């Protein structure tokens, strides 16, 4: 079985190949007069590794040019529709949370029990942060094992006193990534669990999804989307963000990031710190 380090290196090699192909394609388009923007194409290719921040990964990210406060950031107001499964899951479901020996827990916790987990109903959660409250609605019908893990970690205080590690402000990917107690984008809970994705998944403003380092490497890190997110359906969506929560994310986004991950993988820590002071489960 490939280690997370091997997965990360493979993802980077794949990105390099994609960038080379995209650059050549862009060159040809320029010659024939097609006005394609190379930077935008490279950004989309870079999304392959942006969310490779679980399972010991070093937090590769898509390029994001905004490193200073940006009052001109064009954040859409239209929410994305919450995706729905065309075929409902069985209820209950069985979940597995195997240990990740190559990535010990960044903070002490007990893995959740995975027997007979409900795949029906929603749960309200409020992320209490230094930037403001971010209310969420977790949807068991979309991702019961993900919701089960998130609630377990929240109730154990795993997220409390942790800061969001990365802000993306690129026009192709506007999100805030959180859930790593180390604040580096490389920490996790010491266990993983399977993806709960489906082909119809799309991403956009108001959706909550899991970060990963490849197939079935979910852990504790998640991202909150406040604008466009041009991603393949490889990241488990497990809920939505309230309007009040989006207002907080917009404020954080307009303050910009420090560019600490530029030029590749891009993005940076938010200039406005977002630290969880508590996670309340209703």
Please write the tens of the pLDDT for every residue from 52-83: 544 444 333 333 344 556 557 999 999 999 99
CB-CB neighbours of 205 under 10 Å: 23
User: What confidence tens digit (pLDDT) does each residue in 113-138 have?
Assistant: 999 999 999 999 999 999 999 999 99
Which residues, in sequence order, are bridge partners of residue 166? 177
Angle, alpha carbons 50-217-181 (nearest 5°): 70
CA–CA separation, 62 and 70 (whole Å): 18
Torsion sign, CA atoms 230, 235, 236, 238: negative
| Contact in structure between 196 and 144 (CB atoms under 8 Å) | yes
CB 203 within 8 A of CB 183: no
Per-residue pLDDT at 263: 75
Contact 45, 252 (CB under 8 A): no
Q: How far apart are CA 99 and CA 102, in angstroms?
A: 9
Whether the CA torsion 6, 8, 10, 16 is positive or negative: it is negative
Sign of CA dihedral 91, 235, 238, 88: negative
Q: How far is CA 111 from the centre of its chain?
A: 21
Q: What CA–CA distance (Å, rounded) separates 64 from 20? A: 19
Q: Span 131-150, mean pLDDT?
A: 98
Residue 181 has pLDDT above 90, yes or no: yes
pTM: 0.79
Domains in the chain with CATH codes: 4-281 (2.40.100.10)
What pLDDT is recorded for position 267? 82
What is the radius of gyration, based on Cα positions, of the chain?
Answer: 18
pLDDT interval class at 45 (50, 70, 90): very low
Supply the pLDDT for residue 43: 37
Strands of 237-241's sheet in order across:
166-170, 173-178, 222-229, 207-210, 237-241, 134-139, 122-129, 276-281
How far is the C-alpha of 52 from the C-alpha of 34, rounded, in Å? 33
pLDDT greater than 90 at residue 253:
yes
């Amino acid at each position: 079985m490939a280690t997370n380090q091997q997965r990360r290196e493979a993802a980077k090699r794949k990105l390099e190949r994609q960038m080379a192909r995209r650059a050549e394609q862009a060159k040809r388009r320029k010659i024939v007069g097609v006005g394609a923007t190379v930077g935008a194409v490279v950004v989309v290719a870079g999304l392959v590794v942006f969310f490779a921040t679980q399972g010991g990964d070093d937090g590769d990210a898509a390029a994001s040019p905004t490193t200073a406060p940006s009052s001109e950031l064009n954040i859409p107001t239209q929410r994305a529709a919450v995706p729905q499964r065309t075929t409902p899951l069985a209820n209950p479901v069985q979940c597995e949370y195997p240990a990740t020996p190559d990535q010990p827990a960044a903070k002490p916790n007990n893995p959740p029990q995975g027997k007979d987990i409900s795949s029906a109903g929603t749960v309200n959660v409020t992320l209490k942060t230094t930037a403001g409250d971010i209310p969420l609605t977790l949807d068991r019908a979309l991702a019961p094992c993900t919701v089960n893990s998130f609630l377990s970690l929240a109730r154990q205080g795993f997220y409390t006193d942790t800061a969001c590690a990365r802000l993306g402000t690129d026009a192709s990917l506007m999100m805030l990534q959180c859930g790593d107690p180390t604040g580096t984008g490389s920490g996790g809970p010491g266990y993983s669990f399977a993806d709960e994705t489906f082909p119809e998944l799309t991403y956009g403003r108001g959706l909550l999804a899991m970060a990963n380092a490849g197939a079935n490497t979910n852990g504790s890190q998640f991202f909150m989307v406040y604008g466009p997110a041009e991603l393949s359906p490889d990241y488990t969506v497990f809920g939505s963000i309230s309007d009040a929560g989006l207002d907080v994310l917009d404020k954080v986004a307009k303050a910009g990031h420090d560019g600490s991950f530029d030029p590749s993988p891009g993005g940076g820590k938010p200039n406005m710190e977002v630290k969880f002071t508590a996670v309340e489960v209703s």
